[in-house]
A = this chain, B = another copy of it.
Amino acid sequence: MAYFSTAVSEVTEGVVNLRGYSLADVMRKATYTQGAFLSITGRLPSAAETRLVDGILTSLLDHGYVASTITAARYIASGNPQFIPAVAGGILAAGSNTLSPEHSFHLLDHTAELRGDGTLEEGAARVVEEYVSQRKRLPGFGHPTHKTSDFRADILFDLAAELGLDGESIRQLQAIDRAFRERTGKTNIPINIDGALAAIGRDLGWSPNQTVAFAVLSVLPGLMAHVVEEIETGRPLRYIQDGEYVGEPLAKSVGD
């Protein structure tokens, strides 16, 4: 048995076999969205899926300075004005506080357990009761800028409904949203884009990592544009200018 083994692709002279398809055929007939779907999930998408995934892949195209990924990438490019390291470093800022639909996957899995044979509304009521009574934040809800609704989530849900791709995860998340508003009276903690991506990805059969994959692809063009801009017209050696020191005064001596 070989040391490495893969079901993703095989390369021989003049041919790349990508999940059973010839890369030459993919290049001639498929869009990037279709090809990326094939690479990541192992099959080509339907026409409806292609349209929905185009919506997903444009939903995070840019979020300006209001994104840790872009901010981090610009500071890296300011110290090291090279394209590749800044792009890679920006991706590293995607984690549990941003671009993290995996937490909403867990919420939906947990709701399914609590719901059992009950209705979507019953599942929603139970999970909301649990989170609110334990004062835990619902993952996939709330956004620092988009307070009454996250338009990106709304558009994706509309698209999914128009295309007949609004599965149970989407409907469950929307029921949780309604239950949360009723239980708390709060209207400024809407479903955010991470929550929407998790629900849609789960309905499409994606794993959390596969969903993160599409989220990262969506973020990258804007991130890359900011990196190019920083390299071409930014400032060398940017640093934090409004920092405050709250540590010990300069009063110690080595060897004392």
Contacts and interface: CB of A to CB of B under 8 A. Distances in A.
A76 B68 contact: yes
Interface in A177-229: 207, 209-210, 212-213, 216-218, 220-222, 224-229
A107 to B, nearest CB: 18
A244 B27 contact: no
A238 to B, nearest CB: 6
Chain A interface residue number, banded: 35 or more
B81 A96 contact: yes
B84 A79 contact: no
A79 B87 contact: no
A149 B86 CA distance: 31
A64 interface: yes
A134 interface: no
A26 B58 contact: yes
B16 A62 contact: yes
A225 B11 CA distance: 15
A36 to B, nearest CB: 4
Given A87-B91, A250-B21, A243 B65 contact: yes
Nearest to A235: B3
B91 A95 contact: no
A249 interface: yes
A36 B33 CA distance: 11
Contacts of A30: 54, 58, 254
B222 A9 contact: yes
A6 B245 contact: yes
A246 B155 contact: no
Interface of A: 1-36, 38-40, 44, 53-55, 57-59, 61-72, 74-76, 78-89, 91-99, 144-149, 151-152, 155-156, 159, 207, 209-210, 212-213, 216-218, 220-222, 224-229, 231, 233, 235-255
